[in-house]
Amino acid sequence: MAKIAILAGEPSGDLIAAKLMAHINSKIKNIEFIGVGGPLMKQQGLRSFFNYSNLSLYGVFQVIPNIPKLIFLRYKLIKYLKNKKPDIFIGVDAPDFNFYVERKLKQSGIPTFHYVAPSVWAWRPKRVYKIKKSTDYIFSIFPHEKPLFEKVGIKTAFVGHPLANQISLKSNLNKYRKTLNLYPADLVVALLPGSRMGELKAHTDILLETAQNLLIAYPNAKFLIPATNAINMNYIKGRIKKIPTKNLKLIKGKVDEILSSANIAIAASGTASLQIALHKKPMIIIYKGSWLSYFIWKMVSLIPNVSLPNILLNENIVPEMLQHRATPTLLSKKVCEIIEDKKYLKKIDSKFYKLHKNLKKNTSSLILKVIKPYLK
């Protein structure tokens, strides 16, 4: 029986890893998955060594107190995987944790693959040499990354972005509106505070207060918040009780349905920004964290933007309202400006369509083609 070790450390990694596992399951019988992952990976048969929420930390002040615990979990996991002797190891994103695990497994003779390359082009460019010691092969989700890694001798395949395959190239505003109890004429605003608890605490109240402000300009506007899991759902419910907001629905999952139905989105910086772009929707990206975390990012970053659409398109097409600019007053004002700017909305649609086409590949098939010769 083939045995694959796979590790994802947060909901976005859980999603793309689960899609890869589902494809592998459909093509190969009698395969065993071990490692660390979330609920979606478990549905595909993963036996998770520990709860992946241990790795979903946000900002310097969450990471530092948990370092001893992370080191202990890492040590136990490596010992476990060496003992289980998988055919291969696939680290999905979570580079700070995964690359150490990959390096130790590679040293013990286990072929290692990394899916979703770290943004070395944005910061820490010399890190590519450390990556070379850790992984045998990188599955890159952005085309500009391939030459960067190959230049230092790391085998790399551009496999496209997994989200680009699950989202239609043509946007359809009304496809899911009926199932979400929305009317075609509704103005719908998607609110995405983030998936980590630290992000939720930083952004949820800001977004709820922004919705309240927008109701003054658009009394019939509808607001949708997707929650990735029960813990996030309960936290957001608690905040809604403190900040009651008309015309607001909290929905477990259904992120794509919500984004497809939205006229505009306000989202925490991260993978969500690309997901919104693939749905061809205008957005505002926010980030509110500790000033120390923000200062460190500003010091080490080689690029001026945080949102993936701006980085990939190499232009400031998406408003980024960070730290002191992430206020309900400024956000609601910017939403109103965007909604009324028809020329800008048309430009966004065209730019995001081209971006989507560039990222759309048969991702899981390309990965399986590379790893299949290693499976016993």
Q: Please count the residues of the chain.
A: 376
DSSP 212-228: HHHHHH-TT-EEEEEES
Selected residue with higher pLDDT from 249 and 9: 249
Looking at the chain, the whole-number percentage of residues with pLDDT higher than 70 is 91
* One domain, residues 7 and 117: yes
Q: Is residue 33 part of a domain?
A: yes
What is the spatial distance between Cα 310 and Cα 285, in angstroms, rounded to a whole number? 10
Q: Output the average pLDDT for the chain.
A: 90
Residue-level pLDDT at 58: 46
Q: Is residue 270 part of a domain?
A: yes
Phi, psi of 265 (to 5 degrees): -130, 145
What is the spatial distance between Cα 268 and Cα 374, in angstroms, rounded to a whole number? 38
Contact, 368 vs 24, CB < 8 A? yes
User: Does residue 118 sit in helix, strand or coil?
Assistant: coil
pTM over 0.85: no
* One domain, residues 127 and 194: no
Q: Is residue 156 part of a domain?
A: yes
Contact, 364 vs 24, CB < 8 A? yes
Q: Is residue 167 part of a domain?
A: no
Q: Report the greatest alpha carbon distance in the chain.
A: 62
* One domain, residues 368 and 303: no
pLDDT at 34 over 50: yes
pLDDT, average across residues 212-230: 96
* One domain, residues 24 and 137: yes
* One domain, residues 102 and 120: yes
* One domain, residues 201 and 137: no
Query: What confidence tens digit (pLDDT) does each residue in 303-351 have?
Result: 567 889 998 998 999 999 998 899 999 999 999 999 999 999 999 999 9
Q: Is residue 173 part of a domain?
A: no
pLDDT, average across residues 20-34: 96
pLDDT at 127 over 50: yes
* One domain, residues 210 and 354: yes
Q: Is residue 194 part of a domain?
A: yes
Domains in the chain, number: 2
* One domain, residues 68 and 20: yes
* One domain, residues 93 and 226: no
Phi, psi of 170 (to 5 degrees): -95, 125
pLDDT, average across residues 136-140: 96
Q: Is residue 40 part of a domain?
A: yes
Selected residue with higher pLDDT from 242 and 68: 242
Pairing of strands 31-36, 2-8: parallel
User: What is the token pair recorded at 165?
Assistant: 């395959």
pLDDT at 163 over 90: no
Q: Is residue 60 part of a domain?
A: yes
What is the spatial distance between Cα 242 and Cα 262, in angstroms, rounded to a whole number? 25
User: Does residue 161 sit in helix, strand or coil?
Assistant: coil
Give the CATH number for residue 307: 3.40.50.2000
* One domain, residues 199 and 289: yes
Residue-level pLDDT at 60: 43
State which residues form the domain around 227: 188-359
**Secondary structure of 63-93 as H, E, C letters:** HHHHHHHHHHHHHHHHHHHHHHCCCEEEEEC
* One domain, residues 369 and 334: no
- Measured over the CA atoms of residue 43, residue 48, residue 52 and residue 53, the dihedral's sign is positive
Residue-level pLDDT at 224: 98
User: What is the token pair recorded at 368?
Assistant: 């399986």
* One domain, residues 155 and 293: no
User: What single-letter DSSP state applies at residue 139?
Assistant: E
Strands across the sheet with 112-115, in order?
46-48, 31-36, 2-8, 88-92, 112-115, 137-140, 155-158
Contact, 141 vs 117, CB < 8 A? yes
